[in-house]
């Protein structure tokens, strides 16, 4: 498959564009230095003062907007530092403060750019062409034009263009979707997400979703949302803006009052500029979002990762989230023949059915090595049962009510909680029943235990299924609060009332979309879940493995810890410099230069500790089994 033709700019040009205002300001400072050493030195105050005032306008606009919104943001100190140094004629100090702000913004953008580059690799690799098999030949068509049900061929090294069902065995590289470094095997009949890369021989498959509804394109949309979101990331720093601003203003005022010199006020505010607050949270959060993405968890924005880090209550949907979402045959109860013979007959009838129980019955017959029989004259009553002729005998499968409508009276099967029954009649007589149940995910109990170990105080199950079934699943997983028979609006009510806050809701179905949007943070199991659920969620787990939810919480908590530590170090260093500056031994220009050092320390700390997010995630996931093929 070919990909988009967009090419990145050469690195020097890209860096120049991102640092363009720093370059412009550097040129202005160089001109000022030349003028300072020339007879035209009288122009320096006009050049530096006027340039600093103009450069501070965007920051002043942001400050006014913040104040109008009823909040004191971190912009106030930056404007106060520039204004005070200009007011007392410290032109070079004002210019250095402006340089500091410009460099800080450029470094923040650079860190965000690197994280977005890692995430946007998905977009760059999006397939544009699909090979559609028509009349025995292959025709290349745009991926957007691939219809559901089309027969496709994907060649070695190419990307599966849309969600599909395999017609042949395949070896797939899932690194783009799950981060797995080892290719996995997939069997005929497996549903595979778009974005998987074919390794080895070409494969044949049948599309089951259009391009816009396929997994890979959903991921691309989520990545775009996550990469574009920057504003919410400053919220963590804004919590410290008011006390830090008040403390800085108090120290500066004391210095002015005691010394009687307004320059002292400017000298303190110069070293109180809030670049540590401006830089630490965004850099750490963007790096955390990138680390989560490499773990197979897409976080839409910094606000979501912050809320996820503080989650104290988790609500789970049942089907497809805590359970496998695929019924399995649990028992075959035959009346007048061997159980394998009854299963063989049932599989023959179900082979052409689209009912949810058909595939597991056929799969169980194949697992037992039963030779398939041929079924003829198959007719199906949607949601009720199916009738066919197998070996000259009439065979009917379905609900007890369906069989009773045909004059057959099934014997009670006494299913256990959570089991469903498919009754079977052969030759007009009840022949037995096949029992099926949706099993809990193998990792479900481990995940619930791990979440509690991470500080989650309350775990509950919220499902539309029957009470007996829900309670049986909850008991096996270790959940002691169950809300069953819930309609979508009931789920919303339960989650809104749940305590303690914040509450995370984890689901995968279309009916989960409202509650995912209503929760403090919604988590969608996107590997097999509906597009509606993924679009409504704040966090999407791309891998069909519930343990990635635990990885996401760990990454979120470590990310916020990184940001807080970097903010703390930056504030502590700034306060130390303010206490020195208030004594009058730290000239404004020297203080501005020292504040640059504080900024660099904060930046290096945030970036260095962001690496620990990635290493921690890798250690946490090292023991997990990552061999499952993601389902479309």
Catalytic residues: 317
628 in Cβ contact with 584 (< 8 Å): no
Q: Which two three-digit tokens encode residue 90? A: 């410290």
Number of C-alpha atoms within 13 angstroms, CB side, residue 140? 6
3-state SS string for 386-435: EEEEECCEEEEEECHHHHHHCCCCCCCCCCCCCEEEEEEEECCEEEEEEE
Please give the Cα distance from 46 to 463 (Å, whole number).
Answer: 69
Q: Please give the C-alpha separations between residue 491 and each of 249, 480, 495, 522, 537, in angstroms, as whole numbers.
A: 49, 17, 6, 13, 15
Please give the Cα distance from 479 to 445 (Å, whole number).
Answer: 9
DSSP code at position 519: S
Q: Are strands 481-483 and 385-390 parallel, antiparallel or unpaired?
A: unpaired
Please give the Cα distance from 208 to 163 (Å, whole number).
Answer: 6
What does 238-281 look like in DSSP terms, one character per residue?
Answer: HTTHHHHHHHHHHHHHHHHHHH--HHHHHHHHHHT--HHHHHHH
Please give the Cα distance from 461 to 282 (Å, whole number).
Answer: 35
Residues in the chain: 632
Quick one: which H or E segment has residue 316? strand 313-316
Please give the Cα distance from 631 to 333 (Å, whole number).
Answer: 31
Please give the Cα distance from 240 to 262 (Å, whole number).
Answer: 26
Helices and strands in the chain: count of H runs, count of E runs: 24, 22
Residue with tokens 């995968």: 508
**Taking the mean position of all CA atoms in its chain, how far away is CA 134?**
38
- Cα–Cα nearest to 203, from 163, 263, 158: 158
Q: Give buried/exposed letters for 272-300 (b at 16+ CB in 10 A, else e).
A: bbbbbbbbbbbbbbbbbbbbbbbbbbbbb
- CB-based contacts of 139, cutoff 8 Å, min separation 6: 131, 132, 133
Sign of CA dihedral 281, 287, 293, 297: negative
């Amino acid at each position: 498959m070919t990909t988009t033709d967009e090419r990145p700019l050469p690195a020097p040009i890209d860096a120049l564009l991102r640092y363009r205002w720093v370059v412009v300001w550097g040129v202005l400072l160089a001109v000022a230095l030349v003028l300072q050493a020339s007879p035209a030195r009288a122009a320096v105050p006009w050049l530096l003062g006027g340039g600093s005032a103009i450069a501070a306008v965007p920051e002043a606009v942001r400050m006014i907007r913040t104040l109008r919104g009823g909040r004191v943001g971190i912009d106030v100190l930056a404007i106060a530092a520039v204004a005070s140094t200009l007011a007392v004629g410290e032109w070079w100090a004002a210019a250095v403060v402006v340089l500091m702000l410009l460099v800080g913004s450029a470094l923040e953008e650079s860190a965000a750019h690197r994280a977005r580059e890692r995430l946007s690799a998905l977009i760059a690799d999006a397939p544009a062409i699909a090979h559609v098999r028509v009349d025995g030949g292959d025709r290349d068509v745009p991926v957007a034009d691939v219809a559901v049900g089309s027969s496709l061929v994907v060649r070695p090294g190419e990307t599966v263009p849309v969600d599909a069902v395999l017609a042949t065995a395949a070896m797939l590289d899932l690194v783009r979707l799950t981060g797995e470094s080892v290719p996995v095997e997939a069997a005929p009949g497996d549903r595979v997400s778009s974005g998987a890369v074919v390794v080895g021989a070409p494969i044949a498959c049948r599309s089951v979703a259009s391009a816009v509804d396929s997994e890979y394109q959903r991921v691309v949309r989520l990545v775009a949302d996550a990469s574009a979101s920057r504003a919410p990331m400053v919220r963590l720093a804004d919590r410290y803006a008011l006390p830090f601003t008040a403390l800085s203003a108090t120290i500066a005022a004391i210095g002015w009052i005691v010394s009687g010199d307004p320059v002292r006020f400017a000298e303190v505010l110069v070293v109180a500029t809030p670049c540590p607050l401006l830089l630490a949270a965004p850099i750490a959060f963007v790096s955390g979002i990138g680390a989560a993405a490499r773990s197979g968890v897409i976080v839409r924005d910094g606000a979501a990762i912050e809320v996820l880090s503080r989650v104290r209550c988790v609500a789970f949907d049942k089907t497809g989230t805590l359970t496998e979402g695929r019924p399995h045959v649990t028992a075959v109860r035959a009346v007048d023949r061997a159980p394998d013979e009854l299963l063989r007959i049932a599989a023959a009838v179900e082979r052409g059915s689209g009912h949810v129980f058909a595939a597991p019955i056929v799969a169980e017959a194949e697992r037992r090595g039963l030779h398939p029989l041929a079924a003829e004259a198959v007719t199906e009553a949607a949601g009720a049962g199916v009738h066919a002729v197998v070996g000259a005998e009439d065979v009917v499968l379905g609900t007890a009510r369906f069989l009773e409508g045909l004059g057959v009276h099934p014997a009670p099967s006494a299913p256990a909680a959570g089991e469903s029954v498919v009754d079977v009649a052969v030759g007009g007589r009840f022949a037995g029943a096949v029992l099926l149940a949706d099993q809990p995910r193998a990792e479900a109990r481990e995940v619930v235990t791990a979440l509690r170990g991470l500080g989650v105080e309350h775990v509950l199950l919220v499902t539309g299924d029957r009470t007996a079934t829900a309670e049986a699943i909850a008991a096996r997983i270790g959940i002691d609060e169950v809300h069953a028979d819930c309609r979508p609006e009931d789920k919303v009510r339960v989650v809104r009332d749940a305590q303690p806050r914040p509450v995370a809701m984890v689901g995968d179905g279309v009916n989960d979309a409202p509650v995912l949007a209503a929760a403090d943070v919604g988590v969608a199991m996107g590997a097999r879940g509906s597009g509606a659920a993924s679009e409504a969620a704040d966090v999407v787990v791309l891998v069909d493995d519930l343990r990635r939810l635990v990885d996401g919480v760990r990454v979120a908590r470590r990310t916020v810890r990184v940001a807080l530590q970097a903010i703390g170090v930056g504030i502590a260093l700034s306060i130390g410099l303010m206490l020195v500056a208030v004594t009058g031994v730290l000239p404004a220009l020297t203080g501005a230069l020292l504040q640059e050092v504080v900024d660099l320390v904060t930046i290096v700390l945030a970036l260095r500790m962001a690496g620990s997010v990635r290493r921690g995630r890798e250690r946490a996931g090292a023991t997990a089994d990552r061999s499952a093929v993601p389902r479309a």
